[in-house]
């Protein structure tokens, strides 16, 4: 009987030690993860200084004759009056319109119809939600950090680019 009690006490001690080591390993892993996250944040802070993001407009090197050359203007009222739809993305969620002055508007729950396109063009006087610039590779840099790549996607019926660089890719 005493042997049985002694074996039980020893087995409980061993199991509790294993449980403690597992907890210690878990705590050390969490501490290492926190250190890695701190280092990553420090690297990002060094990589992206607190200076304001450059939102100057760039033109694509390969423009055709029917496209306008962009010239950034400082007068926002003048920009809003001369806005032309340059890129249009459609999906089941809604429409995302990119205008020639670098402004981006999102129109949720709107389908790709002539009426909605006219609505977008007529309601472009509002203040933009986001801004974009055209990179040298033709991609769109939105708000200085997110890239969009306008490409013709003929396989998709429910989402894709309806207009790229003033050129319509879909028929109504």
Strand order in the sheet with 146-148: 146-148, 140-142, 130-134, 103-108, 94-99, 85-90, 160-164, 167-168
Rg (CA), the chain: 28
Tell me: the pLDDT tens digits for 20-54?
Answer: 677 777 778 877 777 777 777 777 666 655 444 44
Q: What band does 17 get if pLDDT is binned at 50, 70 and 90?
A: low
Cα separation, 10 vs 4, in Å, equals: 10
Can you tell me the distance from the alpha carbon of 107 to that of 26, in angstroms, rounded to the nearest whole number?
46
Q: What is the C-alpha to C-alpha distance for residues 157 and 172, in angstroms, rounded to an integer?
A: 13
pLDDT at 18: 62
Q: Which residues of 65-84 are buried (b: 16+ CB within 10 A; e: fewer)?
A: eeeeebeeeeeeeebbeebe
Mean pLDDT, rounded, of the chain = 75
Cβ atoms 94, 113 nearer than 8 A = no
Domain range summary for the chain, segments of one domain joined by +? 1-51, 76-168
Q: What's the pLDDT tens digit per position in 91-127?
A: 888 999 999 999 999 988 888 899 999 988 887 677 8
Which pLDDT score is estimated for 67?
40
Which one has a higher pLDDT value, 7 or 155?
7
pLDDT at position 86 over 90: yes
């Amino acid at each position: 009987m005493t042997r049985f009690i002694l074996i039980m006490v020893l087995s409980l001690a061993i199991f509790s030690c294993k449980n403690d080591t597992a907890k210690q390993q878990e705590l050390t892993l969490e501490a290492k993860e926190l250190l890695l996250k701190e280092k990553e944040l420090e690297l990002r802070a060094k990589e992206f200084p607190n200076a304001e993001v450059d939102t100057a407009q760039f033109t694509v090197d390969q423009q055709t004759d029917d496209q306008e050359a962009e010239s950034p203007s400082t007068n926002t009222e003048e920009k809003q009056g001369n806005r032309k739809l340059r890129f249009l993305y459609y999906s089941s969620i809604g429409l995302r319109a990119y205008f020639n002055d670098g402004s981006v508007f999102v129109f949720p729950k709107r389908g790709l119809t002539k009426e909605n396109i006219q609505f977008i063009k007529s309601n472009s006087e509002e203040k933009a939600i986001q801004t974009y610039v055209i990179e040298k590779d033709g991609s769109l840099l939105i708000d200085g950090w997110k890239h969009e790549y306008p490409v013709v996607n003929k396989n998709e019926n429910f989402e894709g680019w309806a207009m790229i660089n003033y050129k319509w890719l879909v028929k109504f």
